[in-house]
Structure 1
Amino acid sequence: MRTSGSTRDSGGWWGRKTTPAKVETYTRWSFHFFALIEVAAVGLPLFAQVGTDAASWMAVLVTVHALLCSATASRALDWTRDRRAQPVRLLWFLGAVTALIAAVAVVLGERGHGDDQAQAAATTLLVGVLSFGIGTLTLGVRGLRQVLGVVAGAVGGTLVLQLALGVAAPTALVTAVIVLFAGGGLAFTAVFSVWLLDAVYELDEARETRARLAVAEERLRFGRDLHDVMGRNLSVIALKSELAVQLARRGRAEAVDQMIEVQRIARESQREVRDVVRGYRETALHVELAGAQGVLTAAGIECEVTGEATGLPTEVQSALGWVVRE
């Protein structure tokens, strides 16, 4: 039997992980990578839109926000896996920092007094920070209403904040719509990632449960077979032994015949138990190979079985079948 393209290679840090652990690691690093995306997509364009001094400290704000989002995402994912309590304080802190940076961006845009580059920089900072903030905050909540509440609160707050600071209504509305689509998209990504991670863990638990149920069912079958064999014969042995005792007390010669019959039934019971155990323990090599191939294929491992096992003796096939099963 040869396997190739394995997703569970024996060596290496990645190969030793289970499939759910791999999906979780991929999900975590994806949200950590979002921090780099935020810095690259929001922080770096600022240098082309405004002066170097203004762009530098604005980029610092974006970097701090990206690192805070990364830390919050890590804590929120731990919470979704029930490894720690919900990071409520960290979520509120991220929300406050996001709102503060958004207010700074609106103020900077208004101070530009018609400067297109300054307004573009302010819009970039506003939309970017709010969008990544929404996406991270939705990781720390559960339920559709709470997710929609985060998105709606951020979009509504953006609109109200701009109008309160004197931004023209059409401009404020357009910016709010952009935040809705960008932040909503990241929120959907976060919710879908958590759902996918939960589904993978549930499938892995279901597969383990199915394996345990199969073992339990086999044990029950074996127990029923033994009960059928031993229960009937032991009842007959007990009845005939009692009859032999009564005959012996009366001095009847038939007591010996009854004990001979008890001896015969006992030996017959031993033979039947051996047959049950032999049938339980014997394995067929081709059956075990097919089962192993099915398990490996279900685990994402390409498995190819070559050769024929029909020419081997029964004892050899049974021994090799146990090797494959183990």
Structure 2
Amino acid sequence: MRGPGGWWRRQTTPEKVETYTRWSFQSFAVTEFVMVGLMAVVPLGMWLGAGLLLMSAVHAAVCMVTVSRSLDWTRGRRPQPVRLLWALAAVTAAVCAVAIGVADHGPRGESVDTAASGVLGIVGIIGIGTIALGVRERRQVFAIVAGFATISWLVAFTRGASLGASLFTAVVALLAGGVLAFTAVVSVWLLDIVYRLDEARETRARLAVAEERLRFGRDLHDVMGRNLAVIALKSELAVQLAQRGRPEAVAQMVEVQRLAHESQREVREVVRGYREADLTVELAGAQGVLAAAGIDCTVSGATAAGLPVAVQSALGWVVREAATNVLRHGDARRCAVRLWVREGRVVLSVENDGVESDGAESDGAESDRVESEAGAGAGAAGSVGSSGSSGPSGSSGPSGSSGSGIAGLRERLAEIDGTLQAGPAGRGLFRLTAEIPLPSAAGPSGSAARSGPASVAAARPVSEVTP
């Protein structure tokens, strides 16, 4: 999808928060320029008002650059803009000094004093809030706000205001400057939290892949370690016997051949168990992972017990991929998973809000990277025992599917005549629906249809599935 809307939807959640923060503080500078123009040009006249407006424009431009550089510094992309912060402080002081000079030596009138005071307050408060973005220590932020309030009191008191009026001016400056500075500090803090949460989620996904690879490696070691050691020992014994012309060498090689076939069979079983996904386990795992990410996930409908192994395995992969997309795309708050049987077909529906259709639909997207790594590990392991082996339930299995994502799921489901549909469901919803036909009961007198797994699954009541 092209255009501004497509660009925004392609951003990750941390990038959206950063963009929102950046534009919000830059909008303060634009607001300053507009307000100074409204307050200064008419009361002060064309030339004097235009001069003050020009200085305000320079101040607003420096503020916008400072906001950009400061947020880049908080994200570790560039060094702290110390010189730019001092330059902003100098420009702020210069504009405030000109406003004071206009009030003291410019045209007389209450409107002029009001305009000068307004320019002084607006420029000073926005300058303090922008400077707070580039300061990390809280004490320094408090010192900047307190200094601004003190200077406001001194300016008001030295210009002839009473002690009470001067204190009131200082309190207003303290509160206004403190609120904007506090907003800047909190915004940076929240932005840092969002990025850390995203990094933690990425790390958790990578750890899950690493843990699965370690488990698969342990299984292969347990299966192959002893057999390979025995094969090596018997091969060496056969060599020694053959060199001595002993007939027992043939028996030893026959035993080596038997152990090799046994090892090949065991490796196939390990790979088949790795590729097959238990639907009940996948539903419980998806619900747990989404709940840990703050997403309300409900699982309802028929239970997975009684469904054929091939169907459970394929739907398990659908649940796994759908949960990955919910975690990695958009800002989902709710996810509903429903499983039911209708007209001899098993239907699995995963619906969530906040998921961008273009991101979820695209195969090979960044969100599929973690699952692709796990799939690549399984595929590499599967190649060990691929010679003459078959996938789950005697079919070619997932080994025939290349990659993951929506296209990979369609390939998996196509092997068992299943279909997959994914797309927007209206009102900010995204729905992924998988349908798989149950094995037909074409046996004698149709007895298999009455006693097969399909009828068992269809007869089960619709109930809540709890992990």
TM-score for the superposition, normalised by structure 2 = 0.59
Q: What whole-Å deviation, never above 9, does each CA across 1:260-308 have from its counterpart, x for those lacking one?
A: 3333222221111111111111124565566667777877888887876
Match of 1:314 in 2: 309
Q: Runs of 5+ in structure 1 lacking a partner?
A: 1-10
Q: What amino acid sits opposite 1:189 in the alignment?
A: T
* Structure 1 position 75 matched with structure 2 position 69: yes
Match of 1:122 in 2: 116
Classify the secondary structure of the residue corresponding to 1:83.
coil
Of the three residues 274, 277, 302, the one matched with 1:280 is 274
Verify the 8 A CA contact 1:103 1:161 in the aligned structure 2: no
* Structure 1 position 224 matched with structure 2 position 221: no
Classify the secondary structure of the residue corresponding to 1:149.
helix
Classify the secondary structure of the residue corresponding to 2:169.
helix
Verify the 8 A CA contact 1:98 1:130 in the aligned structure 2: yes
Classify the secondary structure of the residue corresponding to 2:140.
helix
2:90 and 2:165 map into 1 onto residues whose CA distance is: 24
2:285 and 2:36 map into 1 onto residues whose CA distance is: 53
Verify the 8 A CA contact 1:127 1:179 in the aligned structure 2: yes
Q: Give me the CA root mean square deviation.
A: 3.3
Match of 1:24 in 2: 18
Q: What whole-Å deviation, never above 9, does each CA across 1:59-97 have from its counterpart, x for those lacking one?
A: 444343223212221222222222233222222111111
Match of 1:134 in 2: 128
2:230 and 2:166 map into 1 onto residues whose CA distance is: 93
Q: What amino acid sits opposite 1:281 in the alignment?
A: R
Verify the 8 A CA contact 1:110 1:166 in the aligned structure 2: no
Q: What whole-Å deviation, never above 9, does each CA across 1:229-256 have from its counterpart, x for those lacking one?
A: 1111112222333444445556655444
Match of 1:102 in 2: 96
Percent identity, aligned pairs only? 63
The total of aligned residue pairs comes to: 315
2:50 and 2:239 map into 1 onto residues whose CA distance is: 105
Of the three residues 235, 238, 241, the one matched with 2:232 is 238
* Structure 1 position 93 matched with structure 2 position 87: yes
Q: What amino acid sits opposite 1:126 in the alignment?
A: L
Deviation at 1:319, TM superposition (A): 4.0
Query: Is the alpha carbon distance of 1:175 and 1:110 closer, same or farther for their aligned partners in structure 2, counting shifts above 3 Å?
Result: farther
1:154 and 1:165 map into 2 onto residues whose CA distance is: 17
Match of 1:153 in 2: 147
Verify the 8 A CA contact 1:155 1:179 in the aligned structure 2: yes
Match of 2:325 in 1: none
2:292 and 2:11 map into 1 onto residues whose CA distance is: 16
**Larger fraction in strand:** 2
Query: Is the alpha carbon distance of 1:65 and 1:74 closer, same or farther for their aligned partners in structure 2, counting shifts above 3 Å?
Result: same
2:113 and 2:169 map into 1 onto residues whose CA distance is: 12
Match of 1:84 in 2: 78
Q: What whole-Å deviation, never above 9, does each CA across 1:154-210 have from its counterpart, x for those lacking one?
A: 233333445556655443332222111111110111111111111111111111111
1:175 and 1:102 map into 2 onto residues whose CA distance is: 15
Classify the secondary structure of the residue corresponding to 1:86.
coil
Using the TM superposition, name which of 281-290 and 124-133 deviates more.
281-290
Verify the 8 A CA contact 2:52 2:95 in the aligned structure 1: no
Verify the 8 A CA contact 1:141 1:147 in the aligned structure 2: yes
